[in-house]
Every structure is written in structure tokens, then in C-alpha cells.
Amino acid sequence: MAVTTNDLRNGMTLDIPEGLFAVVEFQHVKPGKGGAFVRTKLKNVRTGAVIERTFRADERVEQAIVDKREMQYLYRDGTDYVFMDTSSYDQMQVSPGALGSAAEFVKEGDNVVLQVYVDEIVGVDLPAAVELTVTETEPGIQGDRVSGARKPATVETGLVLQVPLFVNPGDRIKVDTRSGEYITRA
């Protein structure tokens, strides 16, 4: 669907020759001399890279309609992840590459919002934090309470992160999905 640059809004997705980009911010500029233009900051939906691009006012750009679907993660099928649409019950196989880093935070039964453009998954909306069970770490020793000391731990999804010394195998912890860091015990 073609729109003009005067219709741009934050969060709108554009299909431009450089790829699929979401509008992060935009500014209409009307200089005293010359034509008006729109200065934008765009984020690549697939890679996360941010570019700045200037368009003429009233320039036509292609708006990409990205469909957000709530899906439930069911199981792994070989290397692929199998998701089920929670409204239509259709199943979809997703490659680990399409999920990106989100694969480290998703466990069976979790609901996530997949961003779909045509038939391609271009993004995953996760909650800010997820609860995961620690499967492997050195046991904490009584009295070992050095302030800020950390040790590596592996959680049920295979993600390895640094946790405080008092965290033991079997503990449930909250993990920040944006940074992949330990927040607190659950």
C-alpha cells in the first residue's frame, strides 16, 4: 500500500529498496528556501540496524503491513520450532534464524507474538522478562556472599548467563529478554 511521507507515523513499517524498516522517529522540515522534506530514523526489522534517511515531502513510499499473531510454542521438530496460532490453531514451523535471540528465552507452552510480513517472520515480541529454571550451575556454599560475585549458569532453554553465587540448580529465575541478564529469583 503506497503512502506519502506526510503520512508517516512512529512504528509504521515501510518496504523500501534497502529492505523492511520501521519508523523510529520522523521530522517534517520546511526550510525558508527550497522544498520541504522529511528526515527519518528507520530501524531494519530483520537485523535491528538503524539508518537515517531523508525523503522529499509528498514522496510516495510503500507501507508494509506486518501482521502480529499470538502463537504458542509447542515443541522442537529437528532444528525448527513448531508454533500454533492461538486463534486458528494452525501450526507453523519456524527456523531458529527467524527467531534470532528470542529462541534463548522461549520454552514449551509459552505464548509469543510473531510479526509476519507476507509469509516471512520478521520479528518476535517477547515480554520484558521471562521465568526460567536453572538446569546447571555450581551449588552455592553457605556463607559465600561476596557482594556482586557471579558464576555461570545454564537455564532450561540452553542460555548461559551470569548469576549471583546463591543461585542453585532447580531455582527459578527472572531473566531480562532485552539484555539476557539475571534480574532476580522467582
Full DSSP string of 86-108: TTT--EEEE-HHHHGGGGGT--T
Instruction: Give residue 141's pLDDT.
Output: 66
Instruction: Give residue 68's pLDDT.
Output: 86
Q: Which residues contact 47 (CB under 8 A, 6 or more apart)?
A: 19
Structural domains in the chain, CATH included, are: 2-63 (2.30.30.30), 67-125 (2.40.50.140), 129-185 (2.40.50.140)
11-61 pLDDT tens trace: 888 888 888 888 999 999 898 888 899 999 998 887 778 999 999 888 898
79-112 pLDDT tens trace: 888 999 888 888 888 888 788 778 888 888 888 8
Instruction: Give residue 26's pLDDT.
Output: 92
Beta pairing partners, 153 = 137, 161
- Please state, in angstroms and rounded to a whole number, the distance separating the CA atoms of residues 176 and 3: 37
Instruction: Give residue 41's pLDDT.
Output: 93
The band of 3, judged by pLDDT with boundaries at 50, 70 and 90, is confident
Beta carbons within 10 angstroms of residue 41's beta carbon: 16
CA atoms within 13 Å, Cβ hemisphere of 7? 13
Instruction: Give residue 145's pLDDT.
Output: 63
134-176 pLDDT tens trace: 888 887 666 666 667 788 889 888 888 988 888 888 889 998 8
Instruction: Give residue 146's pLDDT.
Output: 64
10 Å CB burial of residue 14 (0-12, 13-18, 19+) is buried
Instruction: Give residue 52's pLDDT.
Output: 92
Beta pairing partners, 67 = 116
